Amino acid sequence: MSEHPVSLAGEPKVDVEQARTFGLAPDEYHKIQEIIGRTPTYTELGVFSVMWSEHCSYKSSRRHLRKLPSKSELVVQGPGENAGAIDVGDGWAAVFKIESHNHPSFVEPYQGAATGVGGILRDIFTMGARPVASMNSLKFGSFDHPRTRYLLGGVVGGIGGYGNCVGVPTVAGEVMFDAAYNANILVNAFCLGLVRKTEMMSARARGVGNPVLYVGSATGRDGIHGASMASAEFDKESEAKRPAVQVGDPFTEKLLIEACLEAGKTGAIVAIQDMGAAGLTSSSSEMPSHGGLGIELELDQVPLREANLTPYEILLSESQERMLIVAEHGREAELQAVFEKWDLHAVVVGRITDDNRWRARWHGQMVADIPIGALADDAPLYDRPATPPKSSPKSDPTSSVVFVAPSKALRTLLDSPNVASKKWVYRQYDSIVQSNTVLGPGSDAAVIRIKNSRRAMALKVDSNPRACALDPYLGSVGVVCEAARNVACAGARPVGITNCLNYGNPERPEVMWQFIRGVDGLRAASLAFGAPVVSGNVSFYNETEGHAIPPTPTIAVLGVMPDVAKHVTQHFKNPGDAIAIVRTAAPSLAASEYAATFGIDGGRLNPIDLAREAALIDALVEGCEQGLIRSAHDIAEGGLAVAMAEACFNPRAILGAEVELGRAGNADAVDFFGEGASTVILSIAPGDVARVEKLFARRGLEFEVIGNVTADPRLKLGAALDEDVSDLQRIYEDAIPRRLRGGD
């Protein structure tokens, strides 16, 4: 047999046309020929095509992502590993990341979403961290679109079906319905894990001669070219891509979690990585490459689900629940014993070499021999052209506002699926397993305690595509502000960010411009809050037949509080408490749910003063830590009126509120329903009002007592609105179930 890699009998001819069907541009194909000095084998071509896909190589985004702040005194691990990590105190590191699974979820919603959850979990426990909480951000088309119910049911079912079965609580999320996502939904999955700072694991191989172990499920034909699918637009043929969607097995994942964490304790693991996008190929090339080493794989040793898989299929399969481990030489048996205890495969499939080559053999025959850097760290890098779109959005703020009667507007907004309770969704998720969920779904932010410690973490995932569509920079800044503010409303200080950047086709200059402006906004806000971006994911090509989604950076913020007993919720607590609003700017109807619902032009986004945003967060955290704030609720979709109603929906017993709004009865739609300004509603014991006011005044922030909490469950906003809170709650709770029952 030849020591030179060869294509196998029956494999298609390798040429520029074959490369094109694999998604490689002709110049990329020629670059491959140049790198290896010959025509690649069929296997090699497949390997290059997935590793150089946008999804794996970040070839369009890498140079821009470098601008993101990734350092602070709390960062334990920045970008470059499977996930980032932040020191949360008492010896613990919080490991977290968010990732997209958009394309597969549109093609096959249940499995697409399920395997999205599975993939992000593996990114966390490969770091040695036990996954302790999940969140998700979902974007569907308009509720009336014929496909939306199918996709909603499938995605929610898949997230629950997987998450509930692995014992990781789903504690928060966001769901939005907008016609802009009719043909390209978004499913972004987040996971947080905890690990002792000293016990973190790595994906950086070392030790020439160290064995490489394949652990977990056997390899099948599912998911071949999944990474390539995620790197192309959708068209009418996309339905036919269903075989490229992987199938999840959460039971095996649960075993894998326990086995990997137990194996980590042996100290015999040098490096470990999930076989995620591009499967065995990416894990086997990235680990040695990051360690400056090479690898030799024996593909015939890989456990298979069916006998006749080819080397090409073995390398490109994205079968789920598989890991690759570099072990200490001579300690293979120790690790194998752990995996055997959990009834999982653990097979030596290769070894680490010192010659920077990525080699694969099959029954002794070399089928691939590639300089390893070409697959991982030295993949192509593009500086794609970026230009703003020609027509900038109109800007005639509020002149065309028709003042819908406030009572009718409030009822209509509470009935909007974007504003309404998402209980129908989160009731399908186990949000309490592991006994750490202090605040679960339905809150501004989730609060997760750390056992055997007084400390707790607050989590929030957020996005605002309507604002990003108006101004991709300000929209992105605003999303980070809002997520950070939500975390602060729970009483936690924001300390870290992860991001999932969902955009259209980066080969189009206006999409690239949106992306770059989004990254710039994320950078500015991250710096202002001193909360670095420690992990993330980019999802391009979110477009179908030429229609891109609006720019949708999804941001998750992690906050930490030193004393979990000081956490604060969004609900009013006691009749007689003062209600105050604090804010950094005036509200507007730009990008508001009100504007979208009533079909008006909300005008341009107001500028954001990041110094004031940071001051607001600081004051909120201090107020909560001092126990001065009884409730804090961020104003979001639907503005002040909706936020006031939500604050009255205390699950223990609903309360009422009576407030005066603005300029003595002159309040208008902007006051009631405006968004955009960073505004928080507080309730405060009457005796503490002066002290709280000082916290905000000292920082130059507007603080105004506008009314008080009442035992009478009525919401009274000035003279214009007087509503029964139970009525409002019924509308809010029933909006989504009613639509799903088939009511209009």
Helices (H), 144-278: 148-166, 226-229, 250-266
Q: Of 412, 516, 483, nearest to 174 (Cα)?
A: 483
Q: How far is the CB of 82 from other proteins (least distance, A)?
A: 24
Other C-beta atoms closer than 10 Å to the C-beta of 60 total: 24
Closest CB 154 distance from other proteins, rounded Å: 12
Least Cβ distance, residue 567 to other proteins (angstroms): 9
Distance CA 278, CA 722 (A): 58
Task: Name every residue whose Cβ is closer than 8 Å to that of residue 273 and which is 6 or more positions away in sequence.
Answer: 82, 126, 203, 282, 283, 286, 287, 323, 324
Binding site for other proteins (CB under 8 A): 157, 160-161, 164-167, 249-252, 254-255, 342-343, 426-438, 449, 451, 564-565
Nearer to other proteins among residue 255 and residue 480 (C-beta): 255
- The size of the chain, in residues, is 744
Q: How far is the CB of 50 from other proteins (least distance, A)?
A: 30
Instruction: Tell me whether residue 658 or residue 733 sits nearer to other proteins (CB atom).
Output: 733
- Cα–Cα dist 682/622, whole Å: 13
- HEC profile of 483-526: HHHHHHHCCCEEEEEEEEEECCCCCCHHHHHHHHHHHHHHHHHH
Q: Which is catalytic among the residues 101, 103, 567, 633?
A: 101
CA dist., res. 298 & res. 359, Å (int): 9
User: 502-533 burial, b if ≥16 CB within 10 A, otherwise e?
Assistant: bbbbbebebbbbbbbbbbbbbbbbbebbebbb
**Which residues neighbour 451 within 8 Å (Cβ) at sequence distance 6 or greater?**
435, 436
Rounded Cα–Cα distance for residues 436 and 431 (Å): 9
State the catalytic residue, choosing from 55, 567, 571, 633. 55
In the complex, what is the shortest distance from the CB of residue 165 to other proteins, in angstroms, rounded to a whole number? 5
Q: Check if 103 is active-site.
A: no
Q: 136: helix, coil or strand? A: strand
Shortest spacing between CB 4 and other proteins, in angstroms = 45
Residue 381 or 432 having the CB closest to other proteins: 432
Strands 170-177 and 130-140 come out as parallel
Nearer CB in complex with other proteins: 440/521: 440
Q: How far is the CB of 259 from other proteins (least distance, A)?
A: 10
- Taking each continuous run of H as one helix and of E as one strand, the counts in the chain are 26, 28
Cβ proximity of 559 and 529 under 8 Å: no
Q: Which is nearer to other proteins, 157 or 397 (CB)?
A: 157
Closest-CA residue to 536 (of 481, 497, 480): 497
Chain centre distance of CA 667: 37
Q: Which is nearer to other proteins, 277 or 564 (CB)?
A: 564
CB of 152 to other proteins, least distance (A): 12
Is 165 or 689 the residue whose CB approaches other proteins more closely? 165
Nearest-approach distance from CB 651 to other proteins, in angstroms: 9
For 185-283, strand residue ranges (E) read: 186-196, 211-216, 269-274
The answer to whether residue 55 is catalytic is yes
Cα gap 27→378, rounded to integer Å: 16
Tokens of 595: 């504007």
8 Å CB contact between 103 and 109: no
CA nearest neighbour of 679 among 624, 723, 637, 732: 637
CA-nearest of 151, 169, 149 to 160 is 169
Least spacing, CB of residue 293 vs other proteins, in Å: 35
Phi-psi region of 35 (alpha: psi -120 to 50; beta: other; left: phi over 0): alpha
Q: Which residue's CB is nearer to other proteins, number 424 or number 513?
A: 424
Instruction: Compare residues 433 and 705 and give the one whose CB is closer to other proteins.
Output: 433
d(CA 353, CA 209): 6
Nearer to other proteins, 161 or 553 (CB): 161
Sequence-distant (≥ 6) Cβ neighbours of residue 144 within 8 angstroms: none
Give phi and psi for 691, each to the nearest 5.
-65, -40
Nearest distance from C-beta of residue 490 to other proteins, angstroms:
14
Pick 425 or 640: Cβ nearer other proteins: 425
What is d(CA 736, CA 733) in angstroms, rounded to the nearest whole number?
7
- Just list the catalytic residues: 55, 101
